[in-house]
Structure 1
Amino acid sequence: MFAERTGYIVWFSDAKAARGLDKYGTLHYLSRKMQYAVMYMNADVAEEAVRNLQRLPFVKKIERSYRNEIKTEYEKNTPDKTRFYSL
């Protein structure tokens, strides 16, 4: 099936050199103005890839994304009022 993926936000100082980050995972988004990149990589190789990323001279900081830990299933606790507004 599908491998477990984790996301990382990589802050960098050189946008031209940051284009080479796709060697370490899937480069999803690269912001030249704010100088960060959003990457996804397999969870089993993520620890080793982060260690290799930290050694790069243009990488300032690496943060793990908590997007997959946020609850995305919502429940509606309010009653449906559409029947009161119908003609």
Structure 2
Amino acid sequence: MYPQRTGLIIWVTDVKQTKHLEKLGTVHYVSKRMHYVVLYVNADKADETAKAAQKYPFVKKVERSYRNEIRTEYNSNVPDKAKLYT
């Protein structure tokens, strides 16, 4: 139903120019202090969008976010100490 989305971290020289990146995808976050933008795009067009973003003169570097690849299911083999005190 929903398309698979992926994030791009775009390092910029000027934060004021980030409005131009709204044409490429959904701007999720803009860091004014560290000068980067988190942009969400469809996963199947991520490479094309990264190349298009690199053509802007205010873009320094484009990185792919690895958030989708991080394991978020945890299991703990350590026994629960709260049960010992009951």
TM-score, normalised to structure 2, is 0.93
Residue of structure 2 equivalent to 1:8: 8
Residue of structure 1 equivalent to 2:25: 25
Higher mean Cα deviation, 43-52 or 59-68? 43-52
Higher mean Cα deviation, 38-47 or 60-69? 38-47
RMSD: 1.0
Residue of structure 2 equivalent to 1:75: 75
Show CA shifts across 1:24-70 (max 9, x none).
01100001111001111001221211111110000000010101100
Structure 1 residue ranges without an equivalent (≥5): none
Moved over 2 A (4+): none
Larger Rg: 1
Matched-pair identity in %: 53
TM-score, normalised to structure 1, is 0.92
| Matched residue type, 1:78 | V
Residue of structure 1 equivalent to 2:47: 47
Structure 2 residue ranges without an equivalent (≥5): none
Kindly tell me the number of residue pairs found equivalent between the two proteins.
86
